[in-house]
Amino acid sequence: MLGVILAVLIVPLATGIACFLVPFRVAAPLTVASGVACFGLVLALAPGAARGGTPTYLSYLRADALSCVFLLATGFLYAAVSVYAAGYLRGRTDRYARRFYLGFNVFAWAMLAAPLMSSLALLWIAIEVTTVVSALLVAIETELPGKEGDGAAEASWKYVLIASAGLGLGLLATIFAYYAGAQVLGAHSNLAIAPLIAAGSRLPKTPVELAFLLAVLGYGTKVGLAPVHTWLPDAHSEAPTPVSALLSGALLATSFYAILRFYQVAAAALGSGFPRDTLLAFGVVSLLLASLYVFGQRDVKRLLAYSSIEHMGILAIGVSFGAPAALGGVLLHVMAHAAAKGNAFMGAGVFTVKYRTKRMPAMRDGLRLLPWSGPLFLLSVLALSAFPPFGIFRSEFEIVAGGLGSGSYAAAAVLVILVTVAFFGLVTTVTGVLLRPAPARSVAAETPPAESVPARSEAVARQTARADRTEAAGGTGVERVAGGDGGALATAAPALASQAPAGRALEPGEPSAWMVIPVLAGLAVLVLLGVHPPGELTNLITQAAAQLRGAP
């Protein structure tokens, strides 16, 4: 077990460093190999963790069932997105690709390291490392000219400032947890999670209450719980798409894992009433806000970002139910959401490459123009919206069943209503992109292979949008859209056509096969999780849910 844990901690970090030193054509397969190897390694950890027991290695490492659930989600997404990135980055400069792969692998390393830490202090450090690395990954787009570079600069600054301030509160929570533990375990306690839980009701109540509240507020900033979510839609929409997928599918869950660890300590010390009520309040507010905001979005990545806030709200509400079925549903939801949200972002990334814009009013006829990615994106969004037979349907069903079973009728009803509202918002918006027929004139020219990369494509679209503003003064060529980010001008068909070689229309076809394969894999996983989760996985989830209910 120790060897596997050490390998998980070494492989992505070593790969990141190696990628910075080798050319892009080597870095891409190296990262894919690292992603697949890490997923294999975390799969190898799962059976041992499912049997229970929480041995600690080298004083600071452990992989119990709860850790393994989050490791599986991150490991799968790391592998899938590393394949996707190989297609997404085609045509980027070598300098950009080296920096990207360095950051990408180190980001994955930090997210894999966090659940393996046996101490709340090291957990905080790992999550802080995820912040600094991912902020640089969002900022990597500042190299690009024009508005998208400006957007990346703004988003990365807001992200690092808000998330760091939130994690400051998380650190304060950690210090209060230490103070509480020191009263029982002695001053040289190293904030290890297991002894804190074992100390249970002997821990002083006030510091534990304060620690939990600060942890929810602090780590909740990273999770994207309302009202401290404001960095999330900006960072997710401005980051390179592979980073958006990891941010949404893995980073939010990893931060939620930190809250769950504080939840375990608080539930052991205070009983589950206070922590459950706190999570319920944050969960309902997040779900309410997100389910309403998905309706106003015009940027496809912002739409998915708000969907992430919705799903984090569902997780918080699920934990607040406290019933075994609901907790099992929450843990299944972590994995299913990782696969579904990763898929949705990867699909959206294909659309932004194809249409050279993130704005949905300029995207039409997606099912015809993207014969693979169009249907796959639709299926991914349906999976994300809890359609059967996908995993999120099963997980949300279990959460609601657990809520009803535990007598939380009102909260379960609110959950069902708001999830349904969000479902309509997501599906109606996305089907418009996929099914609305293209206008008679072309929306954009097909990019030559060497230029079919997001940087160039989106830059062209943004330049077009600027040109549109000028034209708008004369009232021609543009369509004003009341967008979610302040009613910016969206590029419309005739305006974009002005940038295209005359008479050339978008032709059906995929930008890259590498951007399709991981989405297929993600859908297969979602069907597996929804129809018949493997026995070992069910055991793992049952064991992890038992841990959340107070089992050692």
- Considering only 18, 22, 153, 505, the residue that binds another protein (CB under 8 A) is 153
In the bound state with another protein, the residue whose beta carbon lies nearer, of 202 and 532, is 202
Interface segment toward another protein; rule CB under 8 A; list 62-70, 158-166, 326-334, 537-545: 158-166
Enter the DSSP assignment of 299: B
In the bound state with another protein, the residue whose beta carbon lies nearer, of 154 and 536, is 154
Interaction of residue 468 with another protein, rule CB under 8 A: no
We find the least distance from the C-beta atom of residue 181 to another protein, in angstroms, to be 10
Q: Is 23 exposed, middle or buried (0-12, 13-18, 19+ CB in 10 A)?
A: exposed
Interface segment toward another protein; rule CB under 8 A; list 119-127, 254-262, 521-529, 544-552: 119-127
Tell me if 372 sits within 8 A of 516, measured CB to CB: yes
* Among 291, 285, 317, 307, CA closest to 411: 317
Beta strand 479-480 with 61-62 is unpaired
Tell me if 240 sits within 8 A of 140, measured CB to CB: yes
- Considering only 485, 494, 538, 549, the residue that binds another protein (CB under 8 A) is 485
In the bound state with another protein, the residue whose beta carbon lies nearer, of 449 and 487, is 487
What backbone torsions phi and psi does residue 489 show, to the nearest 5 degrees? -75, 130
Give every CB contact of residue 293 below 8 A, 6+ residues apart in sequence. 306, 309, 484
- Considering only 18, 43, 175, 367, the residue that binds another protein (CB under 8 A) is 175
Judged by CB under 8 A, the chain residues 377 through 436 that form the site for another protein are none
* Among 37, 45, 29, CA closest to 12: 37
Interface segment toward another protein; rule CB under 8 A; list 68-76, 92-100, 482-490, 510-518: 482-490
For residue 36, the surrounding DSSP H or E stretch is helix 24-50
In the bound state with another protein, the residue whose beta carbon lies nearer, of 161 and 513, is 161
Q: CA-CA distance, 496 to 515, in Å (whole number)?
A: 25
The length of the chain, given as a count of residues: 552
Q: Which alpha helices (H) appear in 228-299, and where do they start and end?
A: 231-238, 241-246, 252-270, 273-293
Interaction of residue 128 with another protein, rule CB under 8 A: yes
* Structural tokens at position 449: 């292979």
* Contact string 221-260 vs another protein (x = CB under 8 A): --------xxx-xx--xx----------------------
Interaction of residue 193 with another protein, rule CB under 8 A: no
Interaction of residue 142 with another protein, rule CB under 8 A: yes
Interface segment toward another protein; rule CB under 8 A; list 118-126, 193-201, 254-262, 275-283: 118-126
Interaction of residue 184 with another protein, rule CB under 8 A: no
Interaction of residue 527 with another protein, rule CB under 8 A: no
Residue showing tokens 């069910």: 538
In the bound state with another protein, the residue whose beta carbon lies nearer, of 126 and 280, is 126
We find the least distance from the C-beta atom of residue 438 to another protein, in angstroms, to be 29
We find the least distance from the C-beta atom of residue 236 to another protein, in angstroms, to be 11
* Structural tokens at position 420: 């349904």
Q: CA-CA distance, 394 to 165, in Å (whole number)?
A: 36
Q: CA-CA distance, 347 to 379, in Å (whole number)?
A: 10
For residue 109, the surrounding DSSP H or E stretch is helix 94-113
Q: CA-CA distance, 339 to 343, in Å (whole number)?
A: 6
Interaction of residue 313 with another protein, rule CB under 8 A: no
Interface segment toward another protein; rule CB under 8 A; list 180-188, 315-323, 334-342, 422-430: 180-188
Enter the DSSP assignment of 359: B
User: CA-CA distances (angstroms) from residue 3 to 44, 63, 116, 191, 262?
Assistant: 11, 12, 13, 24, 28
- Considering only 91, 103, 115, 207, the residue that binds another protein (CB under 8 A) is 207
How big is the site for another protein, counted in residues (CB under 8 A)? 51
- Considering only 4, 9, 36, 172, the residue that binds another protein (CB under 8 A) is 172
- Considering only 201, 206, 428, 498, the residue that binds another protein (CB under 8 A) is 206
Residue 160 CB: number of other CB atoms within 10 A? 19
Q: CA-CA distance, 413 to 109, in Å (whole number)?
A: 39
In the bound state with another protein, the residue whose beta carbon lies nearer, of 78 and 178, is 178
Site residues (CB under 8 A) for another protein?
Answer: 119, 121-122, 125, 128-129, 132, 135-136, 139, 142, 147, 149-151, 153-158, 160-161, 164-165, 168, 171-172, 175-176, 178-179, 182-183, 187-188, 190-191, 206-207, 210, 229-231, 233-234, 237-238, 484-486
